[in-house]
């Protein structure tokens, strides 16, 4: 009886959280799954149309273009951001005077609101008055049309994504703190160089952290929205920066095709889940756990 009473009290204390999760998470998810099989414009009741939305997606050239752009950005930004975050973490994992200041400086960019950051980058990458082209001109390099050339616009988004690697860097720093110093001492006794210690000791020991950050990076890059939405309205130039989240937004709130947008959201969810599972499967071969698993 006492155990049951404690369970009831525990559920009562947790009920606000459970209620909130049900209303603001589970209900919208289930509703979106239902709406993905309907023709729904918010202003009228949904009409069941089965798999028509999904069939249309497979022949929608704009969606296929947006999906291609999203996957390209993900494939480029995740490895580059991961490599940069690891390098920064290795450089900042030292006991030097003022190292805490440097860690803070490298972490601060990840705290800047995305919209404010997008406006800032618009001025930096401006083809005529941008600071970046102004700096390149000092070395005799002609102005690059970062924002107006389709071949450069996608690269611009990828470079900007690397700016916010501070979150991953902090997690890598935490992982580096757990690497046993005895392993480095043994490596020094064997005559291992700094690169050999990094390759054979550091990277294997923080491989679970790398796997976690890679998966989080995949999820985040597939859902990117605010940055391209502000910097490249409509996916310009030539839809080279039009990502799935932008097309989903346009269908839901501009074209009033909520059912079609819901189907798009579930396709994006499946793509995210598949890529995450593939990363887990491939990563398991190279992930080393300290417990010997």
Residue 288 maps to a domain: no
Q: Which domain holds residue 161?
A: 53-283
**Is 141 exposed, middle or buried (CB count within 10 Å of its CB: 0-12, 13-18, 19+)?**
exposed
**pLDDT at site 292:** 40
| Within-domain flag for 143 | yes
d(CA 169, CA 85): 5
Q: Compute the chain's Rg from CA coordinates.
A: 24
Which two tokens mark 149?
């050339």
Note whether residue 135 is domain-resident. yes
- Tell me the β-bridge partners of 47: 39
In the prediction, which pLDDT does 291 show?
46
Evaluate whether residue 38 is within a structural domain: no
pLDDT digits (tens, 9 = 90+) for 115-167: 999 999 999 999 888 889 999 888 888 889 999 998 899 999 999 988 888 89
**Residue 198 Cα to chain centre, angstroms:** 26
Burial of 97 (0-12, 13-18, 19+ CB in 10 A): exposed
Q: How confident is the model at residue 248 (pLDDT cuts 50, 70, 90)?
A: very high
Question: Tell me, what's the pLDDT at 63?
Answer: 96
Question: What pLDDT digit, counting tens, does each position of 102-117 carry?
Answer: 898 889 888 888 899 9
In a domain, 28, yes or no: no
Q: What pLDDT score was predicted for residue 9?
A: 82
pLDDT tens, 258-293? Answer: 999 999 999 999 999 999 999 988 877 778 776 443
User: Mind listing the pLDDT tens digit for each residue in 71-110?
Assistant: 999 999 999 999 999 999 999 988 888 888 989 888 988 8
For position 76, what pLDDT does the model report? Answer: 94
Q: What is the pLDDT of residues 6-36, one digit of tens each?
A: 888 888 888 888 888 888 888 899 999 999 9
Give the per-residue pLDDT at 290. Answer: 61
Q: Does the pLDDT of residue 208 top 80, yes or no?
A: yes
Judge whether 158 lies within some domain.
yes
Closest CA to 68 of 243, 280, 195: 243
Q: What's the confidence (pLDDT) of residue 127?
A: 85
Q: How confident is the model at residue 181 (pLDDT cuts 50, 70, 90)?
A: confident
Q: What is the pLDDT of residues 56-69, one digit of tens each?
A: 999 999 999 999 99
Domain assignment of residue 249, yes or no: yes
What band does 194 get if pLDDT is binned at 50, 70 and 90? confident
CATH number of the domain residue 180 falls in: 1.10.3720.10
* Count of domains observed in the chain: 1
Distance (Å, whole) CA 158 – CA 70: 11
Would residue 219 count as lying in a domain?
A: yes
- pLDDT of 293: 37
């Amino acid at each position: 009886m006492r155990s049951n009473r404690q369970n009831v009290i525990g559920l009562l204390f947790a009920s606000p959280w459970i209620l909130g999760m049900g209303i603001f998470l589970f209900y919208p998810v289930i509703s979106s799954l239902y709406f993905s099989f309907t023709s729904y414009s918010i202003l009228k009741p949904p009409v069941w149309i089965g798999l028509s939305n999904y069939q249309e997606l497979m022949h929608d050239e704009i969606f296929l273009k947006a999906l291609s752009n999203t996957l390209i950005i993900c494939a480029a930004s995740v490895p580059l951001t991961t490599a940069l975050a690891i390098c920064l973490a290795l450089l900042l994992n030292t006991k030097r005077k003022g190292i805490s200041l440097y860690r803070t400086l490298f972490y601060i960019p990840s705290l800047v609101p995305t919209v404010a950051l997008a406006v800032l980058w618009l001025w930096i990458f401006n083809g005529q008055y941008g600071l970046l082209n102004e700096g390149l001109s000092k070395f005799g390099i002609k102005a690059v049309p970062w924002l107006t050339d389709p071949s450069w616009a996608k690269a611009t988004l990828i470079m900007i994504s690397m700016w916010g690697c501070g979150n991953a860097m902090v997690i890598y720093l935490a992982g580096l703190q757990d690497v046993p110093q005895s392993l480095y001492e043994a490596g020094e006794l064997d005559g291992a160089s700094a690169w050999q210690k990094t390759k054979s000791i550091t990277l294997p020991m923080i491989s679970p952290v790398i796997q976690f950050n890679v998966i989080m990076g995949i999820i985040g890059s597939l859902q990117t929205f605010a940055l391209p939405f502000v910097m490249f309205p409509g996916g310009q130039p030539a839809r080279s920066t039009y990502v799935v989240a932008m097309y989903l937004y346009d269908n839901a709130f501009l074209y009033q095709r909520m059912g079609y947008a819901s189907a798009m959201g579930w396709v994006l969810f499946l793509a995210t889940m598949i890529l995450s599972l593939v990363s887990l499967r491939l990563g398991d071969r190279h992930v080393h756990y300290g417990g010997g698993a």
